């Protein structure tokens, strides 16, 4: 029976008929297993939330109070949280931190990230399978078929990770570039008589056009301070979200200034001067690397054409003389 089935598949789909049938069967089994894996047990808290929502609907009470009790939008991926979020708490916290540093502050950012990995991986895998089965022709080898299916799937799976890492690096570079200017503005505001909280708000407004990522961080700090959160905790959270050593050093300076009771303006003045010097050193470092890069470019794009121009005619004459001598 197995030999008859194998012969039938070879007659219908060609020499790779059994491989195609096994791959298609595996895809069907994966699609059938997904609903079982993604099925979420009913949470008893959902019933309590539904009862509370019905109570607010039947007894709205004060309109202003009802407006304050707006229903928090539940994410569509909540029921797949167990499947889309890592079970290890340390790994989950690390992924949340990386997404925060990339600028994604939503509560469902981790779920969305893993969903995009799964969706793009399956999409590219399906496209690779379609290409291998219908567009590559009958003469494609088993090795090329596997590569044409697996490689797009891996590319789709790692594409969100590459995007997040790129966004994170761009955001870190933007914060590093704008932090010295922000410190200078903060120093001016503090010396003008404003408190640190007011200075942070003012700096966030002023640098919004040039450095929106840094402005967002300062606005978060200002809102958390207004909400009554401890200043030291707020500053530590900011350094963790930014992921920039300069911001971490600034937070350390502010904490030490508050602990020892020294002047914040004096601490800002000294640290702002250090940040300006560090920015100049960073620019000088890039300038010192430039000659090396130019040398490599010159060797790659100038020397080969020059060698062709100088040696090419001689090689041609030698080739012609050899052919003429052979005749």
Question: What are 88-111's pLDDT values in tens digits?
Answer: 778 888 888 888 888 888 888 888
Q: What is the pLDDT of residue 75?
A: 55
Burial of 203 (0-12, 13-18, 19+ CB in 10 A): buried
Task: List pLDDT tens digits, range 182-226.
Answer: 888 888 988 888 888 888 889 988 888 888 888 888 898 888 888
pLDDT per residue over 112-160, tens digit each? 888 888 888 888 888 888 887 776 666 667 777 778 888 888 888 899 9
The vertex-224 CA angle with 223 and 227, nearest 5°, equals 90
Q: Name the token pair of 95.
A: 């992924």
Q: Is the pTM of this model over 0.85?
A: no
Judged on CB neighbours under 10 Å (0-12, 13-18, 19+), 213 is: buried
Check residue 162 and give its pLDDT. 92
| φ, ψ at 222 (rounded to 5°) | -65, -45
Q: Are 156 and 120 in contact (CB under 8 A)?
A: yes
Does 277 have pLDDT greater than 70? yes
Residue that the structure tokens 């959160």 belong to: 229
| Most confident of the following: 15-19, 113-117, 296-300 | 113-117
């Amino acid at each position: 029976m197995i030999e008859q089935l194998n012969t039938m598949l070879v007659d219908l789909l060609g020499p790779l008929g059994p491989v195609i049938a096994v791959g298609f069967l595996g895809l069907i089994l994966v699609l059938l297993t997904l609903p079982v894996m993604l099925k979420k047990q009913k949470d008893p808290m959902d019933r309590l939330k539904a009862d509370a929502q019905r109570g607010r609907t039947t007894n709205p009470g004060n309109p202003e109070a009802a407006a304050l009790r707006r229903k928090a939008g539940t994410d569509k991926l909540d029921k797949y949280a167990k499947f889309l979020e890592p079970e290890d708490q340390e790994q989950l916290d690390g992924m949340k931190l990386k997404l925060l540093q990339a600028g994604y502050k939503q509560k469902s950012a981790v779920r969305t990230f893993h969903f995009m990995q799964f969706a793009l991986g399956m999409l590219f895998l399906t496209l690779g399978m379609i290409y291998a089965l219908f567009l590559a022709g009958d003469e494609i080898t088993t090795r090329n078929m596997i590569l044409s299916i697996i490689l797009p799937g891996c590319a789709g799976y790692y594409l969100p990770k590459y995007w997040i890492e790129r966004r994170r690096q761009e955001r870190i570079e933007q914060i590093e570039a704008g932090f010295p200017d922000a410190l200078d503005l903060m120093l001016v505001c503090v010396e003008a008589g404003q408190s640190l909280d007011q200075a942070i708000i003012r700096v966030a407004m002023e640098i919004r056009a040039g450095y929106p990522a840094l402005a967002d961080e300062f606005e978060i700090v200002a809102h958390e301070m207004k909400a009554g959160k401890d200043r030291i905790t707020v500053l530590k959270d900011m350094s963790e979200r930014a992921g920039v050593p300069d911001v971490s050093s600034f937070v350390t300076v502010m904490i030490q200034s508050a602990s020892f009771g020294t002047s914040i303006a004096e601490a800002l003045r000294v640290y702002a001067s250090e940040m300006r010097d560090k920015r100049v050193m960073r620019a000088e470092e890039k300038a010192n690397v430039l000659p090396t890069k130019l040398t490599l470019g010159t060797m790659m794009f100038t020397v080969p054409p020059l060698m062709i121009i100088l040696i090419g005619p001689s090689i041609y004459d030698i080739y012609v003389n050899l052919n003429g001598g052979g005749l």
